C-alpha cells in the first residue's frame, strides 16, 4: 500500500512538473475594431502554430484588444499576473503595443510587437519588433519618390502613435531628398470621413500624397483624395499592405504605391533574394489554410514570430525552466544574440543595441495593378 501511495505521489509530481514546463505565450491582437484587418490575419497564422517546441508544450493565450490601448494594457496585465506568461506577442496596432510596453518591461517579460512601436531610448529593453521600422520603410518610399520626380507631398495620417512616428521619421529622409511637405493633415482611426483634410491637401497641390493608415482604414482617405479630384501619386505605408486596401477601395486605389515587406509578393522575388524560400513557404501554408490570394503582411509577421521562437526557445531551455524570471531573461538574451535569421519579411538581426533588426534594403515598393500587388 505504501508503494502504491509512493507511485501515486510520484505520478502527481511528474504531472505537476510537466505542467510547469509548459511555455505560455500571451497574444493580444485587434480582432475587433478598426484594426481587425491586421489582427485577424495574425490570428489565422497563429492557428497554425506548433503545439510543441524543443519537446515542450506551447500554449498560446489569444485575447482581443479591440484596437483599444486601454484594453491592450489590461490584456498585458492579465498575461503577467494571472497567466504567468513567458512572452507577450502584440499588439498589431502601434498605440496598443505602446500601452502594453510598460507592463511587459515592469514584469521582465519579452514583448514581441506586431507593430512598429516607437519607444524612448532605453525604454525598449524588453520590446522587440516584428515589422520593419518606419525609417526602413520610409527609405524605400522616399527613394521611389525621387525616381518618380516627386518634389512636394501632402501628409494625411492617423492622429495616434503610428501617424506621429511616420511623420517624425520620414521628415529627415524627405529633407535629405529635397522633397517638401506642403500640407499636413491628420484624422482618427474611428473617423468615417476626411473630406475637409482632402480638400486642404488638394488646395496645396502636391505632386504626391502619403497616407499613413492601416488595413481597411487606409482605403477611406485614399478614396477621399480620388473623389476630390487629386491627380498626383498616392503612397501607402506597410500597414496598408493587405487585401483590405483593394477590397474596400476598389478602382479608387488602382495605381497606388504601397511599401511592404517581401512576404506579400513571395513568388515575385528573384531566386537570389534570401527570403524567397521562407516567404513562399509562408504563403503556401497560409493560403492553404485561409484561402487563395489572402496573404497578408501581418500574417507574415506571425509566421516570423514562430521562426523566432523555434530558434530562441531551445537555447533558453538550456538556461532555465519555463515560468521563471530566469527563463524570460534567457528568451530576451537569446533574441539579442540569435544572429542573422531569415524571415519571410527579410533578414533579421536583433542585437542588444537594436531591437528593430531589419536593414534599409528590406522595404519593397508595390503597385496596385488590376486589384493585385505588383513589384515596382
pLDDT, tens digit, 9 for 90 and up, residues 30-85: 999 989 989 999 999 999 999 999 999 999 999 999 999 999 999 999 999 999 99
Cα gap 44→117, rounded to integer Å: 22
Instruction: Label residue 2 by pLDDT band (50, 70, 90).
Output: very low
The answer, yes or no, to whether residue 264 has pLDDT greater than 80, is yes
Look-up of cell digits 512576404: 263
Q: Which residue is listed with cell 513568388?
A: 267
pLDDT in tens, 113-146: 999 999 988 899 999 999 999 999 999 999 999 9
C-beta separation of 108 from 325 below 8 A: yes
Could you tell me which residues are beta bridge partners of residue 184?
Answer: 155
CA 267 to CA 345: how far, in whole Å?
13
- How many residues appear in the chain? 376
Per the listing, cell 522616399 goes with 142
Spatial separation of the C-alpha atoms in residues 51 and 58, rounded to whole Å: 5
Q: Which of 185, 186, 189 is nearest to 200 (CA)?
A: 185
Alpha helices in the chain (DSSP H): 2-21, 36-46, 69-81, 94-107, 134-147, 161-177, 195-204, 219-227, 243-249, 276-290, 297-317, 325-336
Query: In angstroms, rounded to a whole number, what is the distance separating the alpha carbons of residues 19 and 6?
Result: 20
Q: What is the Cα–Cα distance from 359 to 128, expressed in whole angstroms?
A: 15
Domains delineated in the chain = 2-132+287-359 (3.40.50.2300), 134-260 (3.40.50.2300)
- pLDDT higher than 80, residue 20: no
Which span out of 122-126, 179-183, 269-273 was modeled with the highest average pLDDT? 179-183
Please tell me the predicted confidence (pLDDT) of residue 17.
Answer: 42
* Over residues 175-197, mean pLDDT: 96
Stretch 5-12: mean pLDDT: 40
Q: What is the pLDDT of residue 200?
A: 97
CA distance 291 to 77: 35
- Measure the CA angle with vertex 103, ends 296 and 348; round to 5°: 40
Alpha-carbon distance 112 to 239, whole Å? 17
- How much is the pTM? 0.85
Q: Which residues are bridge partners to 212 per DSSP?
A: 157
Coil, strand or helix: which one is 233?
Answer: strand
Q: Which residues pair with 365 in a beta bridge?
A: 259
- Residue 3 has what pLDDT? 42
Amino acid at each position: 500500500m505504501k508503494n502504491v501511495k509512493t507511485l501515486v505521489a510520484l505520478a502527481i509530481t511528474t504531472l505537476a512538473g510537466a505542467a510547469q514546463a509548459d511555455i505560455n505565450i500571451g497574444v493580444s491582437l485587434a480582432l475587433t475594431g478598426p484594426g481587425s484587418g491586421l489582427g485577424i490575419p495574425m490570428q489565422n497564422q497563429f492557428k497554425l502554430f506548433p503545439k510543441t517546441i524543443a519537446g515542450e508544450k506551447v500554449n498560446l493565450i489569444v485575447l482581443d484588444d479591440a484596437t483599444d490601448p486601454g484594453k491592450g494594457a489590461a490584456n498585458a496585465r492579465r498575461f503577467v499576473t494571472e497567466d504567468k506568461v513567458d512572452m507577450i506577442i502584440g499588439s498589431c496596432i502601434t498605440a496598443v503595443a505602446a500601452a502594453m510596453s510598460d507592463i511587459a518591461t515592469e514584469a521582465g517579460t519579452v514583448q514581441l510587437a506586431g507593430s512598429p512601436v516607437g519607444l524612448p531610448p532605453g525604454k525598449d529593453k524588453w520590446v522587440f519588433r516584428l515589422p520593419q521600422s518606419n525609417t526602413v520603410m520610409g527609405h524605400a518610399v522616399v527613394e521611389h519618390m525621387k525616381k518618380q520626380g516627386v518634389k512636394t507631398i501632402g501628409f494625411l495620417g492617423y492622429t495616434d502613435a503610428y501617424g506621429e512616428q511616420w511623420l517624425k521619421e520620414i521628415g529627415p529622409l524627405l529633407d535629405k531628398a529635397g522633397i517638401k511637405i506642403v500640407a499636413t493633415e491628420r484624422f482618427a482611426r474611428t473617423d468615417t470621413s476626411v473630406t475637409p483634410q482632402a480638400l486642404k491637401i488638394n488646395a496645396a497641390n502636391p505632386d504626391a500624397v502619403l497616407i499613413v493608415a492601416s488595413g481597411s482604414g487606409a482605403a477611406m482617405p485614399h478614396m477621399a483624395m480620388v473623389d476630390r479630384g487629386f491627380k498626383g501619386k498616392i503612397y501607402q505605408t506597410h500597414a496598408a499592405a493587405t487585401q483590405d486596401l483593394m477590397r474596400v477601395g476598389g478602382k479608387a486605389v488602382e495605381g497606388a504605391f504601397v511599401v511592404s515587406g517581401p512576404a506579400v509578393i513571395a513568388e515575385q522575388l528573384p531566386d537570389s533574394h534570401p527570403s524567397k524560400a521562407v516567404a513562399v513557404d509562408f504563403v503556401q501554408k497560409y493560403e492553404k489554410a485561409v484561402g487563395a490570394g489572402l496573404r497578408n503582411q501581418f500574417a507574415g509577421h506571425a509566421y516570423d514570430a514562430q521562426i523566432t521562437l523555434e530558434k530562441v526557445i531551445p537555447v533558453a531551455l538550456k538556461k532555465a525552466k519555463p515560468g521563471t524570471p530566469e527563463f524570460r531573461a534567457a528568451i530576451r538574451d537569446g533574441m539579442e544574440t540569435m544572429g542573422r535569421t531569415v524571415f519571410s519579411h527579410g533578414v533579421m538581426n536583433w542585437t542588444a543595441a537594436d531591437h528593430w533588426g531589419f536593414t534599409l534594403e528590406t522595404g519593397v515598393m508595390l503597385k496596385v495593378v488590376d486589384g493585385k500587388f505588383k513589384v515596382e
